[in-house]
Structure 1
Amino acid sequence: MLASLDRAKRVMQIPTEDTSMDETLSLLIAAASQAIENHCKRSFRKKLYTERMSGYPSLYLNLRNYPIHHIEEVRADQILGDYEEIGDGRLYREWGWPIGEHNISVTYLGGYVLPSEATKEEPRTLPESIELACLLYIQMIGRNPGAKSERVGDISVTYSDDSEALPAPVAALLTPYVGRWV
């Protein structure tokens, strides 16, 4: 999950010893985390990934789940070793990549250490803006789920019709992390 239960409770000003909302908050954090990963078209969790992609006339391949910590294997018809990881999940190969449909497979350790998985040996590396986006989103969902506007006198509520879009402040925090592939 992109935010810890403890931090969510602090942000929402719920005493840490109060466990009455823990299940609801955990569900909100999980739902917000999934919505954010769907929006960004990637996973943020640090783990081993294998991606299959098509080779096309380019010197670069873009991997989804950066930062890349270690590349286990790059394979086309054979194992390729003549490439360079140049940051932000991009692989460079001087002679280009073999052209074909889903002909390249890359296995790599990538992603961030999430706040909920951080240890003393491996502290969190998830950017604060992603965690803030998650916390902001759970606050918005918790406050008025799906409500676009409210009015108290003569009671009126309008519900949002953009079911797939994240709220603008949340989306703005995530802009640098949205996938650059189709």
Structure 2
Amino acid sequence: MLCTLERFKRHMSIPEDDKSMDDELRLYLMVATQSIEKHCKRTFRKQTYTEQLNGYDDSPYVNLRNYPIHKVISIMSRHGEITDYESVGDGRLFRSNGWPNGKHNLTVTYVGGYVLPGEETDTAPRTLPETLEFACILYAQSLHDRQFIPSGVQTERLGEMSVTYAHQQSEKDMPPTVISLINPYVGRWY
């Protein structure tokens, strides 16, 4: 998850020793994480990935989804392994004479992503940008707060009875603040 349960509880002013809502809060964090990753068209956890990519001989670049890239293990084409490339940052690989032309003709195996909160070790400190963690906190909080609002009701007045209905929210709706925080991490490959 992009945020630990402990940090989310502190943000929500829930005592750490109060375990009564842990499962529910963990669910909000998981939904927020999955929604953010879906919006960004990528995964953030540091791990080994294998991607099938299209190569174009007229383009010296290919883009990998799950940057930052820590290590490219192999790049295979139909004609064998490719070794004459360089990583130029943000998941981009550069090859001066272009890539073999074809659909899904490159298989790249690499280690990429961020060390997530709660997964850090003495030798691998947390590297996830704070903006992504904060976006997860805000989105999880908004999911939590929505449960107390009657579905579709935006405003309500008792004197002379008046109800205003909002558009029906779907689970993919995110607060504008969350979208602005995560937009810099949206993949550029589609």
Common fold by TM > 0.5: yes
Indicate yes or no: 2:115 matched with 1:113.
Answer: yes
* Corresponding position of 1:181: 189
* Corresponding position of 1:59: 60
* Corresponding position of 2:74: 73
- The structural deviation recorded for 1:117 is 1.4
- The structural deviation recorded for 1:165 is 3.5
What is the distance in 2 between the residues matched to 1:24 and 1:10? Answer: 15
* Corresponding position of 2:34: 34
SS in 1 for 2:118: helix
Q: Per-residue CA shift, 1:37-84, capped at 9, x if unaligned?
A: 000000000000000011123100000000000010011121000000
Say which is worse superposed, 50-59 or 116-125, in terms of deviation: 116-125
What is the distance in 2 between the residues matched to 1:125 and 1:102? Answer: 31
Aligned length: 182
Indicate yes or no: 2:105 matched with 1:99.
Answer: no
Q: TM-score, normalised by structure 1?
A: 0.93
Q: TM-score, normalised by structure 2?
A: 0.90
- The structural deviation recorded for 1:151 is 2.9
What is the distance in 2 between the residues matched to 1:157 and 1:17? Answer: 40
Q: Per-residue CA shift, 1:77-100, capped at 9, x if unaligned?
A: 210000000000000000000000
* Corresponding position of 2:24: 24
Q: From the CA coordinates, give the structure whose radius of gyration is larger.
A: 2
1:161 to 157, 161, 168: 168
Unaligned runs of 5+ in 1: none
* Corresponding position of 2:154: 149
- The structural deviation recorded for 1:144 is 1.4
Q: CA RMSD in A?
A: 1.7
Q: Percent identity?
A: 49
| Partner amino acid, structure 2, of 1:18 | D
| Partner amino acid, structure 2, of 1:137 | Y
Cα gap change, 1:160 to 1:121, in 2 (>3 Å): farther
Runs of 4+ in 1 over 4 A off after TM superposition: 145-148
* Corresponding position of 1:122: 124
What is the distance in 1 between the residues matched to 2:143 and 2:117? Answer: 21
| Partner amino acid, structure 2, of 1:150 | T
